[in-house]
Amino acid sequence: MSYEVWLILAAMILAAKLGGEVAVRLNQPSVLGELCVGIVLGNLSLLGIHTFDGAAELVPVEFLAELGVVLLLFEVGLESTLTEMRAVAPTSGLVAIIGVVAPIGLGYGVSLWLLPDEPVSLHLFIGATLAATSVGITARVLKDLNAMARPETRVILGAAVIDDVLGLIVLAVVASIAEFGAMPGPLDLTRIIGLAAGFLIGALLLGAYVMPGVFRFASRLRTQGVLAAVAIGLCLLLAGISGAAGLAPIVGAFAAGLILDEVHVRPFGRKSAHDLTEIIGPIVAVMAPIFFVRTGMMVKLGGIGTEPLFLALALTVVAVIGKLVSGLGVRGGTADRLTVGIGMIPRGEVGLIFANVGAGITFEGEPLIAAGVYAAIVLMVMATTVVTPPWLAQRIRQVMRKQPDVA
């Protein structure tokens, strides 16, 4: 690995902290500052400074960014419990279903309106890119505001897991229609659902029957840092298995944190559950900003034409509306609907993955998602990513002032 990579990583981490500090001083979540720093670094070439050209695509940067968001969701899982998640499961399911169906329909309609001469498969793909939520941004904002115990947080996190499974099914269906002109077979859909369900059930069984014994054994070891090593090892293991099952690795990381309860770490004595969070926290504080800075760096402000800009604006509007209405799935006043809707808005890397799949499919010798449409999708992803932190922070503060004791 060349010395330039080390210098780029150093600059990203330090700039992230400076950007986060500025955001906090402006009463905004630090993640907004990190995203803005990334946008600035990624577009310095417009000023003739090419130091960070291609930095976001460097393998070490991409890996550390992914590791950062995986550890962030692991930490979020540690601060949640299975009992709390089960309590909001029906609500989370309804929120997820509305939050997938509404954006697909709205995205299809906008694409049909603005690109009337394009094939139906493109309209479907554009709708699909609006379906998936990227929960990393939302989780970071809620954590920064000490809102992890809120019912809104549990609903959002539960919905995000279900959303990921539904997103997989949508992608399989749309890609099959675009590539072969037909729906995927029942066996393909069964395989997708079976792998996702198998992973989630397996994670629960692992937490209930295997991990207590693993932690009892680990507690007898005299090596330093055993608790952190076993916990992070479990996080990376489930992140990898989750990826193999077709889900996002962050789902596995969240599941790893969720299944670790106080009973698992009790053999280590003292206040081990608290110790584990204390150990993971500083690591996340350094690693997670790399992900958010890299996300910002992927936004390229130069060379965007008028048509992609207009399409991006329209897609952003329906992307926001489509997720806001998902808050209607909250029933009985268990959580604030608007907070849940706002928390589901960010598309992040998930939307880009969908767009990349579409760009790899050819239609009549050309990429299904051409450069202009791809640019519009990237802008939509960035707009939903940047608009969420300040809006969510403002709303959750209002809700917490009205209901300070709800948990």
pLDDT mean over 242-253: 83
The pLDDT tens digits for 52-72 are 888 888 999 999 999 998 998
* Rg for the chain, CA atoms, rounded: 21
- Please report the pLDDT score of residue 264 as a whole number: 59
- Please report the pLDDT score of residue 51 as a whole number: 87
- The average confidence (pLDDT) of the chain is 84
pLDDT of 263 > 60? The answer is no
Alpha helices in 206-271 (DSSP H): 211-218, 226-244, 249-259, 262-265
HSE toward the beta carbon, residue 166, CA cutoff 13 A: 25
The percent helix, strand, coil of the chain (3-state, each to 5) is 80, 0, 20
* Helix/strand/coil for 367: strand
Q: Comparing 171 with 38, which gets the higher pLDDT?
A: 38
Specify whether domain 62-286+317-402 bears CATH 3.30.9.30: no
Alpha carbon distance 380, 130 (integer Å): 9
* Helix/strand/coil for 50: coil
The pLDDT tens digits for 188-227 are 778 777 887 888 888 888 888 888 888 888 888 888 888 8
pTM beyond 0.85: no
Strands 362-363 and 366-367: antiparallel
Which residue is listed with tokens 């767009």? Answer: 355
pLDDT mean over 23-39: 85
Q: Render 282-343 in DSSP notation, one character per residue.
A: HHHHHHHHHHHHHHHHT---TT--HHHHHHHHHHHHHHHHHHHGGGGG--TTSS-HHHHHHH
pLDDT band of 311, cuts 50, 70, 90: very high
